[in-house]
């Protein structure tokens, strides 16, 4: 056993799941064909998660902990885990046991076959409601239409990379407004997918609200597509055409009935055009906000301290 897999687990208020996660991981990973390390990223949990992680790290050198100074979000947690991972491969997964630990061996088999990027695709998500499943499907069909990169529907935050592929994420994808899943699917490399069935959450509640999912979806569309910026051109053409129609109609009524009364027409057209204009200004504003965030170049995450992390991170 000379190769090692780094399992990155993002943790935000998961005190009820962590002990069970660790126990399961120990049991299942005992038969793993590679060595392993468990990197828990504590994303500013306010419950007892950190104490549990420190205890586990104290009794087991394979458990490593990255402790953030505050909550930076799931994406930042996964990025930190990838930054610190030392293995020949990295797997990112959730702490709530929704991602079956048994899949890690399957991932290693694929690595052995020469695959470098492995997307875990969930077959069905019984735990998510009908609405979540529907909006997720709608989101993927929209993003695939407006973006020139392809997104695998149902790809989860459960994926695996070889060290080489992970290095690309570490060095070249340091965007502040980001969608890690999107990058994972678009860095190339020899790739494959594995189907898995998402389990119900072991304990606690999903940390993603509908509102945060909305924001996430909008940012993703803005980051992976410049189509919204081009809406200005399209609506310019549309409004010009509309103007032409109104002009023809006005000339026609003038020829038929003499001086036309156009008050209502003016009001309607004004409202319509202003609506289009404000919408476009709003879209441009969203892009400027993203540019601003990139320009400020604030850190993606801040590490307060670590446990069992020998040496510095690679990045």
Token pair listed for 295: 């320009």
Please report whether residue 220 would count as binding ligand UDP according to CB under 6 A: no
Give yes or no for a contact between 50 and 42, defined as CB atoms under 8 angstroms apart: yes
CA dihedral 166, 170, 174, 178 (to 10 degrees): 30
Out of 15, 37, 43, 307, name the contact with ligand UDP by CB under 6 A.
43
Among positions 180-219, residues that touch ligand UDP (CB under 6 A) are 206-208
Which listed option, ligand UDP, Mg ion, none, makes contact with residue 43 (CB within 5 to 8 Å by class)?
A: ligand UDP
Burial class (CB in 10 A: 0-12, 13-18, 19+), 42: buried
Give yes or no for a contact between 126 and 196, defined as CB atoms under 8 angstroms apart: no
Minimum distance, C-beta of residue 110 to ligand UDP, in the bound complex (Å): 23
- The total number of residues shown for the chain amounts to 315
H or E segment to which residue 13 belongs: none
Minimum distance, C-beta of residue 141 to ligand UDP, in the bound complex (Å): 19
Among positions 83-102, residues that touch Mg ion (CB under 5 A) are 94, 96, 98
Q: Distance (Å, rounded) from C-alpha 262 to C-alpha 252?
A: 13
Out of 5, 7, 11, 56, name the contact with ligand UDP by CB under 6 A.
11
DSSP letter assigned to residue 172: H
Out of 64, 74, 110, 181, name the contact with ligand UDP by CB under 6 A.
74
Give yes or no for a contact between 309 and 66, defined as CB atoms under 8 angstroms apart: yes
Please report whether residue 94 would count as binding ligand UDP according to CB under 6 A: yes
Which listed option, Mg ion, ligand UDP, none, makes contact with residue 75 (CB within 5 to 8 Å by class)?
A: none
Integer Rg of the chain from CA: 25
- Choose between 94 and 307: whose C-beta lies nearer to Mg ion: 94
Minimum distance, C-beta of residue 192 to Mg ion, in the bound complex (Å): 23
- Choose between 88 and 96: whose C-beta lies nearer to ligand UDP: 96
Please report whether residue 69 would count as binding ligand UDP according to CB under 6 A: no
CB-based burial, 146-172: b 16+ in 10 Å, e otherwise: ebeeebbebbbbbbbbbbebbebbbee
Out of 57, 65, 95, 163, name the contact with ligand UDP by CB under 6 A.
95
By CB under 5 A, name the binding residues for Mg ion. Answer: 94, 96, 98
By CB under 6 A, name the binding residues for ligand UDP. Answer: 10-12, 14, 43, 71, 73-74, 77, 94-96, 98, 206-208
């Amino acid at each position: 056993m000379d190769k090692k897999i780094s399992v990155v687990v993002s943790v935000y208020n998961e005190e009820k799941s962590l002990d069970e996660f660790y126990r399961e991981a120990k049991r299942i990973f005992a038969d793993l064909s590679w060595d392993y390390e468990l990197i828990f990223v504590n994303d500013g949990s306010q419950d007892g998660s950190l104490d549990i992680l420190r205890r586990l790290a104290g009794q087991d050198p394979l458990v490593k902990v990255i402790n953030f100074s505050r909550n930076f979000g799931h994406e930042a947690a996964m990025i930190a885990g990838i930054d610190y991972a030392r293995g020949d491969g990295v797997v990112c997964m959730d702490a709530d046991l929704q991602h079956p630990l048994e899949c890690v061996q399957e991932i290693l088999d694929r690595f052995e076959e020469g695959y470098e990027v492995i997307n875990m695709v969930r077959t069905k998500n019984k735990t998510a409601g009908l609405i979540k499943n529907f909006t997720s499907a709608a989101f993927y069909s929209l993003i695939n239409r407006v973006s020139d990169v392809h997104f695998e529907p149902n790809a989860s935050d459960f994926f695996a990379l070889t060290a080489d592929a992970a290095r690309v994420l570490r060095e070249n994808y340091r965007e502040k407004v980001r969608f890690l899943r999107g990058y994972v699917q678009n860095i190339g490399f020899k790739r494959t997918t594995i189907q898995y069935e998402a389990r119900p959450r072991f304990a606690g509640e999903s940390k993603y609200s509908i509102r945060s999912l909305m924001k996430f979806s909008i940012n993703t569309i803005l980051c992976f597509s410049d189509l919204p910026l081009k809406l200005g051109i399209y609506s310019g053409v549309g409004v010009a055409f509309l103007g032409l129609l109104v002009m023809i109609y006005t000339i026609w009524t003038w020829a038929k009935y003499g001086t036309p009364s156009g008050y209502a027409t003016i009001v309607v057209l004004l409202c319509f055009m202003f609506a289009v204009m404000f919408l476009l200004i709003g879209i441009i504003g969203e892009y400027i906000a993203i540019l601003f965030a990139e320009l400020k170049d604030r850190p993606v995450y801040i590490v307060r301290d670590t446990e069992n992390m020998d040496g510095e991170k690679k990045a």
